[in-house]
Amino acid sequence: MPVIVVTRLRLRDPALLEEFFTDAVAAIEQAMKSDGNLGADALADADNAWWSVSAWQERRLMQAYVDSEPHQGISARLDHYCDEATFVDWEQASPALPDWQTSWRHLTAAGHAADLTHPSAANQTRDFPPPVQPPPSVS
């Protein structure tokens, strides 16, 4: 059954954006080229938050991506970049990527927070606002 993985990362300092962006693009590109990937997407949210979502044929292949470079090295820098870093995964019958509001519901209901040196209060409570996205009329 397909596995969906959602991440929400918020930069602790907007000045880190360029550095973070380079890593984020590398991670998304790697995911899209990895065995077992069924799709990936990213969303730049308000308040310096970035979302990603990816779909995988099976958990083993998703884990292989997580444990390989450059993703593994990038993960080690999340503490440098973020004051909020939350992840959630679930299995679903459809291989299609969920929309961002569905991703938000899963993340706030059952997400796991990373252990950060400078966490915000919301990092543990998952009290995150729904992602701001453009209306479908122009998407």
- Minimal distance, residue 128 CB to another protein, in Å: 15
DSSP-based three-state secondary structure for 31? helix
Residue 131 makes CB contacts below 8 A (sequence gap 6+) with 43, 45, 46, 49, 51, 100, 101, 103, 104
Q: Which amino acid is at 23?
A: D
**3, 5, 40, 82: which one contacts another protein (CB under 8 A)?**
40
Q: Return the closest-CA partner of residue 64 out of 31, 86, 90, 96.
A: 31
- As measured in angstroms, the least distance from the Cβ of 52 to another protein is 10
DSSP annotation of 134 reads -
**Quick one: 1 or 25, whose CB is closer to another protein?**
25
Q: Which residues contact 64 (CB under 8 A, 6 or more apart)?
A: 34, 35, 36
Identify the residue among 19, 47, 67, 91 touching another protein (CB under 8 A). Answer: 47
Which stretch in 44-52, 62-70, 80-88, 122-130 sits in contact with another protein by CB under 8 A? 44-52
Q: Pick out residues in 96-135 that bind another protein (CB under 8 A).
A: 132-135
Q: Which of 25, 96, 109, 110 binds another protein (CB under 8 A)?
A: 25
Closest CA to 89 of 109, 74, 73: 109
Cβ nearer to another protein, comparing 53 with 116: 53
Sole binder of another protein in the list 1, 13, 19, 29 (CB under 8 A): 29
Whether a cis peptide bond, with omega within 30° of 0, leads into 129 is: no
Residues found near another protein in the complex (CB under 8 A): 18, 21, 24-25, 28-29, 32, 40-42, 44-48, 132-139
